[in-house]
Structure 1
Amino acid sequence: MHILFFTDNFPPETNAPASRTFEHAREWVKAGHQVTVITCAPNFPTGKTFDGYKNKLWQEEEIAGIRVVRVWSYMTSNEGFAKRTLDFTSYMATGFVAALFVRRADIVVGTSPQFFTAVAAWGAAALKRRPFVFELRDIWPESIRAVSAMEDSKLLDLLEKLELFLYRRARVVVAVTHAFKRNLIARGIDPDKIAVITNGVDSTRFKPMPKDAALLDQLNLNGKFVAGYIGTHGMAHALDTLVETAHLLNDDPQCKNIRIVMLGDGASRQALIEKADGLHNILFLERVSKEEVPRYWSILDVSIIHLKRNDLFKTVIPSKMFECMGMGTPILHGVEGESAEIIESTGAGQLFEPQNPHDLKNRLKTLHTNPELCAKLSVQGLQSAPQFDRANLAKEMLAILEKHEIGKFH
C-alpha cells in the first residue's frame, strides 16, 4: 500500500504532530508499505526555516525510509490569526499541487491541528479517486475561540461548516481522544466512521535513564529539585501560571531549592521571560533538537503539563504525558477532562487546578519534601507506559488504513 500523508509539521520539528506522524509512518514503512509525506520546510514555532533547509517550491529527502516532499509556504511565528491562516492556506495550495506529482497512492491522509491540511488531502483524494482519511488532532476552529485568538464571527461559522464537510467526506475519521469522538457524534457525524487512536510514546527513545550529569552542571542545577515544562509556549498553555508559581516559591523559605525549567519556543515565550524578570528560580531554555529532548527529560524530578482552563481542553490529551510515563518522570497535571482521568487511573502523577499557581506551588512543595511519593509516581508511570507504546498504536492505525485502502473498500 502507498500512503500519501499531508501534515504541515514533520521532523526535525519536535512538536506533537510531527512526532506522531513520523513515528507512525516509520512503523508503516517497517511493515512493508510505502509512505510519502507532503509537508513544509521545518519552521515551527518560530516561523524561521531550520538550518539546512530552504523555503522552496519543492525539495525532497528520505527520512527512515519515508519519502518526504517539502513545499513552499508562507512562514510566520505561532501567533496572530491572520498570518497563521495565511501560513495554513499557502501550504494547502502548494501541498495540493505537489500531490498531483505523487503517483499511485492508494489512500490519502490529512492530519490536523489545523484542518486546511485536511482540505488539501480531501482535494487530492477526490482528484485521484482515492479514499480520504481525516486524522483529528484538534477541534478546529473551536480551539481558536478557546484561546480567544479571534472573536466569534461569520468567518468562524463558515470555517465550522467546512470542518463538518470534511468529517462527512472522510471515509474514516481517526480521532486522538474519545472526547473528540463524542464531540463529532453530538454534531451528527456517523459514529461507525470514527476510530480512536490515542497519542503515545516512542519507547525506543523515551525510557528510564540516569540524570545527565553534564547537563546538570551546565545549567547549575546540581542538588536542586527540578520541575520542568517542555514544549510549545503558546496561548493555549497559559504558562504565566508557572511564572506566578515561581514567584510564590521564591517567597517561601522552604522552597528555595526548587527550580522551574522552561524548554521550548512559541508566541508567549518573550512575554513570559519579561514577566519572570528578577526571578532566579526559573530558567528559560531555547528549543533543542528532537534527539536532545530525552536528555532534558532526564534531569527533571517532576514534569509540569498545563493548558488554559477551558471546556474544549477537557477533550485534549497532551502527548508529553506519555513521554513522562516512558521516562518514569512524575507528572503534575494541570489539564482537566480525559487526560486527567488517565493520570488518575495510571497513578503516574497528581492533578492541580489549571491556572491556579497556589495549587501548583503546594503540589511542588509536597513532592519536594516527599521522595517516597515521587518514587511511587515514577514506578506507576513506567508500569503504565507500555499500553501507550507508539509502535502498537501505529499498527492499530495501519489496520484501519488497510481496511479502507483503494481496492478493498466497497
Structure 2
Amino acid sequence: MTAKKILLISYNYAPELTGIGKYNAELCEYLASVGHQVTVITAYPYYPNWQVLEGYQNRWYQKECLNEVELIRCPFYIPKHPTGLKRILQDSSFYISSLVVVLWQIICDKRYDIVITPSPSFLCGFHGLFLTSWRRLTKFVYHIQDLQIDAAIDLQMIKQAWLQQILIGIERYILNHATRVSTISTGMQQKILAKKTKLTDVLLFPNWVDNTRIFKTLVDTSIIAGLGIPLDKKLFFYSGAIGEKQGLEMILNIAPSMAHRSPEVVFVISGTGPYREKLQQAVIDAAIPNILFIDLQPIPIFNQLLNHAYGHLVIQKESAGDLLLPSKLTNILAVGGLSIVTAVKGTTLYDVIDAHQMGILVPPENAAAFEAAIVACANGSDGMAESLSKNAAAYAAQYLDKARIIDGFMAQIAS
C-alpha cells in the first residue's frame, strides 16, 4: 500500500497500558513505522485509574510526538466515579473539545486519506462524517471495539427509555454513513449487522498481540517476590480494568473456601478502576487471606507475571454476552497461559476457546463451577494444563500476529 495520511480520533491512547488506548497506540505506531503519516486527536491519559496520569495536566490543548506519531491532546471531563450519565458527559466533553481541533484541521486545509474513529466513544463518529463530507476522497472507518450503547443498556447503566432511543438513533446514523464499519469479533459482527441499519458488511479487525513485548520467557522470581507475591503459592492472576462488568466479586465469593480446599492457591488482582476500592474493602472486612491487589505493571514486569501465573482468570458477567471480547485474553494466549474463562455458550469468546481447546470454560456468575475449575487446575496432574497451554500458544502464533492483522485490515480498506 502506498503511504497514506491517516487521522485517528479517540480519547484513549498511550501511555495507557490497557484497553482501547493500548490498541490505538500499537496500531498508529505500526502504521507510522511502515511509512504512513499518522496524526491522533486524543485526550490526556486517564484509564483505568480514572484520573490523569502523572506528568500530564488536563487543562488545555497540547501537542506531542510519540514514536513517530503526532498527537494533539484535548482537555475533557474525567469522572472519579463513572456512571452511565457521567460517561455520556465524558464522551460529550471530548466530542466538543476535539471538535475544535477538527475544525482547525479543516481551516488549515489538512487533508487525510483515512479517518479512523474507534468506539468508544461512539460520538467521535460524527467527526469522521464531518471530515468525509468536507473532503469527499477521505475514507471514514468506524471501528467498534466495544458496543458501548448495548452494554450500557444491558448492564442498566442507562435506564431512561427516551435517552436509550436517542443514543440508538445517533449510533444508527453513524453506522449508515461511515465508509466502512469494522469490529473485533464475529459475534460482534453479527450483532452490528442485526441492528436496523443499511449495513450489509462489517469488516473483521481483531485485537492482536505485540510479540516483541509479550512473549514466553523464563521468569525472574526476584521480580515476582518484589511485588509481594509468595513464590511458594500457585498464582491465579487477573489483570485489567476493575469495574462492574468484570464480575470480580466472584473471586471474593470463592476465596474463603479455596483457602481451606487449596491453601496453595493465591489470587492476585492487578489493576485500577472505580470498583477496586470497594473490592479491597470487602477483602479487608472479611479478612480473606488469599487475595492480593497490585497496581498495573510496566510491560516488562507484566510479561513476567503472565509467564509466572499458574492460571489466568478471564471474567465477565453474563449480561456482557457478546458485547466485548476481553483484550486481556490475547496476552494470555501469547505466553501459552492456562486460562479459566467465564463465557456463555454460543458467544464468540466461548466458541473460540472451545474450538481450539485453549482454556477452561465455565458459566458466568456461577461461583461453584468457577471454584471447581480452579481446584481442578491447581490439583491437575493429567496433562490437561500442558495441552491447553500448547494450544493457546499455537493459536496466538497463527491468528494474533500484529503485522499480519493490521496489514490485512488496511488492504481491505484500500479495496
Q: Residue 9 of structure 1 corresponds to which residue in structure 2? A: 12
Map of 1:4-403 to 2, 5 A cutoff? 4-77=7-80, 79-102=82-105, 103-129=110-136, 130-218=138-226, 219-252=228-261, 255-277=262-284, 278-310=287-319, 312-336=320-344, 337-371=347-381, 372-386=383-397, 387-403=399-415
Does the 8 Å CA contact 1:2/1:104 hold for their aligned counterparts? Answer: yes
SS at match of 1:57: coil
Q: What CA distance in whole angstroms lies between the structure 1 residues aligned with 2:15 and 2:91?
A: 19
Deviates more, 1:119-128 or 1:100-109: 119-128
Could you report, residue by residue, the CA deviation over 1:247-271 in whole angstroms, capped at 9, with x for unpaired residues? 221242xx00100000001121111
Q: Residue 406 of structure 1 corresponds to which residue in structure 2? A: none
User: What is the deviation of 1:187?
Assistant: 2.0
Structure with the larger RCO, 1 or 2 (CA within 8 Å, 6+ apart) = 1
* Structure-2 change in CA distance of 1:396 and 1:344 (3 Å): same
Could you report, residue by residue, the CA deviation over 1:269-321 in whole angstroms, capped at 9, with x for unpaired residues? 111112222111000112233454223222211110011112x5234221111
Q: What CA distance in whole angstroms lies between the structure 2 residues aligned with 1:128 and 1:76?
A: 35
Deviates more, 1:365-374 or 1:255-264: 365-374
Does the 8 Å CA contact 1:206/1:323 hold for their aligned counterparts? Answer: yes
Q: Residue 407 of structure 1 corresponds to which residue in structure 2? A: none
User: What is the deviation of 1:390?
Assistant: 1.8
User: What is the deviation of 1:164?
Assistant: 0.6
User: What is the deviation of 1:126?
Assistant: 2.8
Q: What CA distance in whole angstroms lies between the structure 1 residues aligned with 2:302 and 2:129?
A: 34
Q: What CA distance in whole angstroms lies between the structure 1 residues aligned with 2:56 and 2:36?
A: 27
Q: What CA distance in whole angstroms lies between the structure 2 residues aligned with 1:203 and 1:323?
A: 9
User: What is the deviation of 1:144?
Assistant: 0.5
User: What is the deviation of 1:152?
Assistant: 4.0
SS at match of 1:141: helix
Q: What CA distance in whole angstroms lies between the structure 1 residues aligned with 2:147 and 2:46?
A: 23
SS at match of 1:228: strand
Amino acid at match of 2:278: A
Does the 8 Å CA contact 1:177/1:315 hold for their aligned counterparts? Answer: no
User: What is the deviation of 1:388?
Assistant: 1.4
Amino acid at match of 1:101: W
* Structure-2 change in CA distance of 1:349 and 1:78 (3 Å): farther
For these two proteins, the number of residue pairs brought into alignment is 400
Does the 8 Å CA contact 1:78/1:234 hold for their aligned counterparts? Answer: no
Q: What CA distance in whole angstroms lies between the structure 1 residues aligned with 2:224 and 2:143?
A: 39
Q: What CA distance in whole angstroms lies between the structure 1 residues aligned with 2:91 and 2:193?
A: 27
Does the 8 Å CA contact 1:114/1:138 hold for their aligned counterparts? Answer: no
User: What is the deviation of 1:204?
Assistant: 1.3
Amino acid at match of 1:259: V
* Identity percentage of aligned residues: 21
Q: What CA distance in whole angstroms lies between the structure 1 residues aligned with 2:10 and 2:305?
A: 27
Could you report, residue by residue, the CA deviation over 1:319-359 in whole angstroms, capped at 9, with x for unpaired residues? 11111110111110012211111111222211011111211
User: What is the deviation of 1:122?
Assistant: 2.6
Q: What CA distance in whole angstroms lies between the structure 2 residues aligned with 1:235 and 1:335?
A: 16
Could you report, residue by residue, the CA deviation over 1:348-380 in whole angstroms, capped at 9, with x for unpaired residues? 211011111211111111111125322222111
Q: What CA distance in whole angstroms lies between the structure 1 residues aligned with 2:400 and 2:153?
A: 30
The alignment's C-alpha RMSD in Å is: 1.7
Does the 8 Å CA contact 1:302/1:329 hold for their aligned counterparts? Answer: yes
Q: What CA distance in whole angstroms lies between the structure 1 residues aligned with 2:245 and 2:102?
A: 32
Q: What CA distance in whole angstroms lies between the structure 1 residues aligned with 2:197 and 2:281?
A: 45
Could you report, residue by residue, the CA deviation over 1:144-167 in whole angstroms, capped at 9, with x for unpaired residues? 022221214201111001001000
Q: What CA distance in whole angstroms lies between the structure 1 residues aligned with 2:60 and 2:312?
A: 40
Amino acid at match of 2:47: F
Amino acid at match of 1:263: S
Q: What CA distance in whole angstroms lies between the structure 2 residues aligned with 1:265 and 1:214?
A: 24
User: What is the deviation of 1:190?
Assistant: 4.3
